[in-house]
Amino acid sequence: MMELVPLLMFVAVCAALMFGYPVAFTLGGTALLAAGLGIVTGVFDPELLRAFPDRLFGIMQNGTLMAVPLFVLMGVMLERARIAEELLVNLARVFSRVPAGMAVSVVVVGALLAASTGIVGATVVTMGLMSLPTMLNRGYSPRLATGTICATGTLGQIIPPSIALVLLGDTLSNAYQQAQLSAGIFNPKPVSVGDLFVGAIVPGLLLVTAYIVYLLFVARREPAVARTNDEQVDLVETLKSLVPPIALMVLVLGSIISGAATPTEAAAVGALGAGILAFSRGALNRDRAGEVGRSTLQVTAMVFAILIGASLFSLVFRGYDGEELVTGFFNSLPGGVVGATLLVMVVIFLLGFILDFIEITFVVVPIVGPVLLAMGVDPVWLGIMIAINLQTSFLTPPFGFALFYLRGVAPEEVATGAIYRGVVPFIAIQLLVMCLLALWPSLATWLPAALAG
């Protein structure tokens, strides 16, 4: 019976979260309850809990995680400066002669906004408030308009630099080292957040391109969408709104790819650049700067509170030999590494309905990651697959987070069914990209290997 305790812990966490309990306290509380019962019954060694302070100290010393508050600050700063709104207005004029031009501009702006924030809710809500009313007024069907906004909002999971990739990269790095040490390799090869950023470039661009191709295809069938406008384009205004944020993204990502800066250092540059952009446009005063600080603090505190709870959970999980249970289960699956990877992807997809990417990254990945990596799975490929998988899960009816976010800001006349139907083609596109990555892993691994070489 005791060998089932790790499984019961995981089920208890999922059940508590479905009842609305806070994630961080659910993880820590479940772990302490399981450890307490084990100590009373004599099946859990209380000395294992002495490792928890060391884990907290390790979190405090983790330089990679310092990038989280800096990237959050960068995203909040750009959002408060209304840079995305200016981009959307000017790009809509640029694409006014293109069929489905407004939708194409939403995808482009949404991709840039996703890269700067990396948070699904922030991007979906921002794009929903800015572009949905305009798209409906221009004759777009509610189905196409809402589907485009939801799909674009989830790009923050895969387009670097994003918070999701920072957290995934750090977790997979630890899992990869653990997998190599368990295999007797005492000089483990590192895998960094920068590797994950570089590996996500091609899949991210592939998704954005596929979205735009689909929109152009739809424009041939829907006259209202295909109608073009000959709006006057102010080249100076367009460049003023377009060049600074793109230059900032290129500076941040380019410094990481070239090796000139670590992700944390690049995040600091991004936050400073975003602040300069905001103040130069007069978008920030003392009150708004205070709001930016509070929003950054709230998101950062949430991330690290979950990380602390997850650290305690994984410690107790390992104390009950949970890793051996997972390893034995995966090794007994038919299909070997393919069957194990497919099962993990299905489980993560289903958990994406009830857990956010932060919880899945800190709870699920440390459990299944070392086992899959020990079976020979490439860590960069696995990270990109998990990111796109979560992106698809957040988009899938009826529980996808992106759908709930947009439903909260969409006009009442937009039916929920229209939102559900609108995301179906984009889900198919994301599944297609995942299949391509499964067939050709080099789509994610070639560029990091080439740069490393």
Alpha-carbon span 388 to 207, nearest angstrom: 10
Q: What is the 3-state secondary structure (H, E, C) of the chain?
A: CHHHHHHHHHHHHHHHHHCCCCHHHHHHHHHHHHHHHHHHHCCCCHHHHHHHHHHHHHHHHCCHHHHHHHHHHHHHHHHHCCHHHHHHHHHHHHHHHCCCHHHHHHHHHHHHHHHHHCCHHHHHHHHHHHHHHHHHHCCCCHHHHHHHHHHHHHHHHCCCCCHHHHHHHHHHHHHHHHHHHHCCCCCCCCCCHHHHHHHHHHHHHHHHHHHHHHHHHHHCCCHHHHCCCCCCCCHHHHHHHHHHHHHHHHHHHHHHHCCCCCHHHHHHHHHHHHHHHHHHCCCCCHHHHHHHHHHHHHHHHHHHHHHHHHHHHHHHHHHCCHHHHHHHHHHCCCCHHHHHHHHHHHHHHHHCCCCCHHHHHHHHHHHHHHHHHHCCCCHHHHHHHHHHHHHHHCCCCCCCHHHHHHHHHCCCCCCHHHHHHHHHHHHHHHHHHHHHHHHCCHHHHHHHHHHHC
Rg over CA atoms, the chain: 22
* pLDDT attached to residue 358: 78
pLDDT, position 290 = 85
Of 5, 19, 205, 212, which Cα lies nearest the Cα of 102? Answer: 212
Instruction: List the Cα angle 156/306/204 in 5-degree steps.
Output: 15
In whole angstroms, what is the distance from residue 266 CA to residue 261 CA? 6
Tokens of 414: 């937009």
- pLDDT at site 116: 60
- Beta-carbon count within 10 A of 204 CB: 25
Task: Indicate the pLDDT class of residue 435, thresholds 50, 70 and 90.
Answer: very high
- pLDDT at residue 114, rounded to an integer: 67
Q: Report how far residue 206's alpha carbon sits from residue 197's, in angstroms, rounded to the nearest whole number.
A: 15
- For the record, the structure tokens of 330 come out as 């995966």
Q: How confident is the model at residue 431 (pLDDT cuts 50, 70, 90)?
A: very high
Task: Please give the pLDDT value at position 384.
Answer: 92
The answer to whether 366 touches 171, Cβ cutoff 8 Å, is: yes
* pLDDT number for residue 2: 66
**What mean pLDDT comes out for the span 181-195?**
73
Sorting pLDDT into bands at 50, 70 and 90, what band is 348?
confident
Summarize pLDDT for 29-69 with one digit per residue, the tens: 888 898 888 888 888 888 888 888 888 888 888 777 888 88
**Residue closest to 171 by CA, chosen among 316, 366, 371:** 366
The answer as to whether 54 is a domain residue is no
**Residue pLDDT, tens place only, 77-90:** 877 777 777 777 77
- For residue 1, tell me if it sits in a domain: no
Whether 159 is covered by a domain: the verdict is yes
The reply to whether the predicted model has a pTM over 0.75 is yes
User: Is 41 within the bounds of a domain?
Assistant: no
Phi, then psi, of 167 in degrees rounded to 5: -70, -40
Residues 6+ apart with CB under 8 A from 430: 151, 207, 388, 391, 392, 395
Q: How many domains does the chain have?
A: 1
301 lies in some domain: yes
In a domain, 14, yes or no: no
Average pLDDT over the chain, rounded to an integer:
82
Residue 198 maps to a domain: yes
- pLDDT tens track for 136-157: 887 888 888 899 988 888 887 7
Residue 397: band (very low, low, confident or very high) from pLDDT cuts 50, 70, 90: confident
pLDDT for the residue numbered 433: 93
Check whether 265 has a pLDDT greater than 90.
no
CB contact at 8 A, 401 and 121: yes
Q: Could you report the per-residue pLDDT of 213-228, keeping only the tens digit for each?
A: 999 888 888 776 666 6
Range of the domain at 397: 66-312+319-452
- 224 vs 277, which has greater pLDDT? 277
Asked whether residue 302 carries a pLDDT value surpassing 60, the answer given is yes
Instruction: Say if residue 117's pLDDT is above 60.
Output: no
Band (430; pLDDT cuts 50, 70, 90): very high
Query: Is 22 among the domain residues?
Result: no
